[in-house]
Structure 1
Amino acid sequence: MSDEDEIVFETALDAPPEKVWRALTVPEYLERWLDRPANTEIDRVASDENRSLTYRWREAVPGAAGPEESFVTFELTRQADGGTWFRLTHRSAAAPVAANTNEPGPATLMRAA
Structure 2
Amino acid sequence: MIRKSDASINLTYELDAAPSRVWRALTEPEYVSQWLKRPAGKNKVPQENALVPSFELRLISADPDSRVRYSIKDNDAVSVVTFQIRANASGGTTFSIVHELAMSAANSNWQIPLRAAA
TM-score, normalisation: structure 1 = 0.71
1:84 aligns to 2:93 (yes or no): yes
Match of 2:82 in 1: 73
Letter in 2 for 1:87: S
**Aligned equivalent of 1:50, options 55, 59, 65:** 65
* Total equivalences in the alignment: 88
Match of 2:53 in 1: 38
Aligned residues with identical type, % of pairs: 35
Structure whose alpha-carbon radius of gyration is higher: 1
Letter in 2 for 1:55: Y
Q: What secondary structure sits across from 1:20 in the alignment? A: helix
Structure 2 residues without counterparts, runs of 5 or longer: 39-51, 105-118
Q: What secondary structure sits across from 1:38 in the alignment? A: coil
Structure 1 residues without counterparts, runs of 5 or longer: 61-66, 96-113
The Cα shift of 1:9 comes to 1.4
Q: For 2:60 and 2:37, locate their aligned partners in 1 and report how far apart those are by CA, in whole Å.
A: 20
